[in-house]
Amino acid sequence: MAAASDMTVSFLRQTPAARLPTPALRGGVAGWLRASLFSSPFNIALTLLCALLIARAVPPLIRFFLIDANWSGSDREACLPSAGNPDPGACWAFVRVWLSYFVYGFYPIGQRWRVDLFLAALALGVVWLLWLGAPRRGIGAIYFFIVLPVLSLILLAGLPAIGLSFVPTNLWGGILVTIVVATVGMVVSLPLGILLALARRSHLPMVKWLAVAFIEFVRGVPLITVLFMASVMLPLFVPEQLAPDKLVRALIGVAMFASAYMAEVVRGGLNAIPRGQYEAAEALGLSYWRMNALVILPQALRVTLPNIVNTFIGLFKDTTLVFIVGIFDFLRTVEAAHSDPRWASPEIGVTGYAFAALFYFVCCYAMSRYARRVELRLARRGGREHDRERRDG
């Protein structure tokens, strides 16, 4: 600094420096390609490797599932090698013929409109609840959490008094069962998980120990074990005539399992809330429940939203395990259809599982995208949208 003053370089800006617009991307598309894909020898090698993989994998898949696939027919003849198609691809005809079984299981054919109505009512509830700009979302919540469960029970199980015949749950199957198990699991596990997480952080030792014991025990055994216990051991404690239905027992098992995981996810979110938020809420005179409902949980759930959706996605796929206690979920119906001798052909297995994979992927990816949008919207409120969107938009 001393040297600077010796050199008499005093400087005074006379006019303000102009505010210039952000310069355009240098080099356009070619520049982007160079910077992103070919910036270093390692990057070039990676790019070439990926291009090679895509070139090797994608065309055969397109050929098998689309170009050489058989789309119509009523038995295996449609999918066997023929003069016109010596190397047949996927047998979509099989899926078309069996589709109603995949959706409804053994649900009586004349009563399937009840399932359709249930699915429509559920779709309405889901859209009403999840569409952030929907009108009257309060009523939507009442509809989803109170009206819909009652309506679904009456529709699906039946209520002879109003002319809906009784349909025992061992006739339910397919996508219907998968949706029922997943929805009940999600809707029960979030509130129960929140309560368990709060209990685990409680200052009351008994409450805390009970929550810890439940979470650690349920989380420490495989879902199959929980399902077996719910299915086999529950009737041992409850009199025969009071023992709940087989599907209900599986639902209880899945809900317990999901709640234990959800509790830990929510606890992670609660841990991220600074002490000062609790103190500010307490200093304003908010009670424990109001403080959690109005100040802590809205922030904690927002922090942990990706983890909640992750748990939901895991739960959705775990529903396939209910087959172990003899329930015909979607995947089980696909497997059962394979064993039909009228459709015995080499491509049936791949086609069935590809269809199942497509169904699970579409559902899980939809959950993932929805969560991403909610995250961005919440981030925008916090005034951090720029770095969030730039980082992983």
Partner 1 sequence: MADPARDPHTSPPRAALAVEIVGLNKWFGEFHVLRDIDLTVARGERIVICGPSGSGKSTLLRCINHLEDWQGGRIVVDGIELTDDPKQIVAVRRDVGMVFQQFNLFPHLTVLENCTLAPIWVRRMPKRDAEALAMKYLERVKIADQAQKYPARLSGGQQQRVAIARALCMNPNIMLFDEPTSALDPEMVKEVLDTMVALALDGITMLVVSHEMGFARQVADRMIFMDDGQILEINKPKAFFDHPLHERTRLFLQQILR
CB of 245 or CB of 282, closer to partner 1: 282
For the record, the structure tokens of 316 come out as 């959705």
Q: Rg of the chain's alpha carbons, rounded to an integer? A: 28
- Give the torsion sign (CA, 14, 17, 18, 19): negative
Q: Residue 91: what are its φ and ψ, rounded to 5°?
A: -105, 75
Which span (59-67, 90-98, 147-155, 270-278) binds partner 1, by CB under 8 A? 270-278
For the record, the structure tokens of 36 come out as 């992103």
Our CA dihedral for 373, 375, 376, 381, rounded to 10 degrees, sits at 130
CB of 75 or CB of 375, closer to partner 1: 375
Kind and range of the H or E run holding 340: none
CB 381 to partner 1: min, Å: 5
CB 269 to partner 1: min, Å: 13
In DSSP notation, 102-113 reads HHHBT--GGGHH
Instruction: Please calculate the CA angle 114-248-360 and round it to the nearest 5 degrees.
Output: 65
CB 274 to partner 1: min, Å: 8
CB of 39 or CB of 287, closer to partner 1: 287
Among 96, 137, 201, 302, binds partner 1 (CB under 8 A): 302
CB within 8 A of 25, min separation 6: which ones? Answer: 31, 32
Which span (125-133, 269-277, 312-320, 348-356) binds partner 1, by CB under 8 A? 269-277
How many angstroms separate the first and last alpha carbons of the chain? 45
Which span (31-39, 200-208, 255-263, 375-383) binds partner 1, by CB under 8 A? 375-383
Q: What track of x and - describes contact with partner 1 for positions 229 through 268 (by CB under 8 A)?
A: ----------------------------------------
CB of 119 or CB of 374, closer to partner 1: 374
Binders in 147-186 for partner 1, by CB under 8 A: none
Q: Residue 250: what are its φ and ψ, rounded to 5°?
A: -65, -40
Q: What track of x and - describes contact with partner 1 for positions 276 through 295 (by CB under 8 A)?
A: xx-xxxxxxxxx--x---xx
Q: How far is CA 31 from CA 37, 38, 44, 49, 50, in A?
A: 10, 10, 15, 21, 20
CB 293 to partner 1: min, Å: 9
Q: What track of x and - describes contact with partner 1 for positions 65 through 104 (by CB under 8 A)?
A: ----------------------------------------
What count of other Cβ atoms lies within 10 Å of the Cβ of residue 349?
Answer: 13
Q: What track of x and - describes contact with partner 1 for positions 198 through 217 (by CB under 8 A)?
A: --------------------
Instruction: Please calculate the CA angle 61-66-67 and round it to the nearest 5 degrees.
Output: 100
CB of 52 or CB of 293, closer to partner 1: 293
Which span (92-100, 202-210, 297-305, 316-324) binds partner 1, by CB under 8 A? 297-305
Ranges of H-type helices in the chain: 2-6, 28-37, 41-62, 92-104, 112-130, 137-142, 148-157, 174-200, 205-220, 223-228, 234-237, 246-271, 275-283, 288-290, 297-303, 305-318, 330-338, 347-381, 385-392
CB of 100 or CB of 287, closer to partner 1: 287
Answer yes or no whether residue 389 interacts with partner 1 by CB under 8 A: no
Query: How many Å apart are CA 189 and CA 262, to the nearest integer?
Result: 6
CB 138 to partner 1: min, Å: 14
For the record, the structure tokens of 103 come out as 């959706």
CB of 31 or CB of 298, closer to partner 1: 298
Among 43, 299, 310, 368, binds partner 1 (CB under 8 A): 299
Number of residues that bind partner 1 (CB under 8 A): 22
| Partners of 329 in the β-ladder | 174
CB of 134 or CB of 280, closer to partner 1: 280
Binding-site ranges for partner 1 (CB under 8 A)? 274, 276-277, 279-287, 290, 294-295, 298-299, 302, 381-384
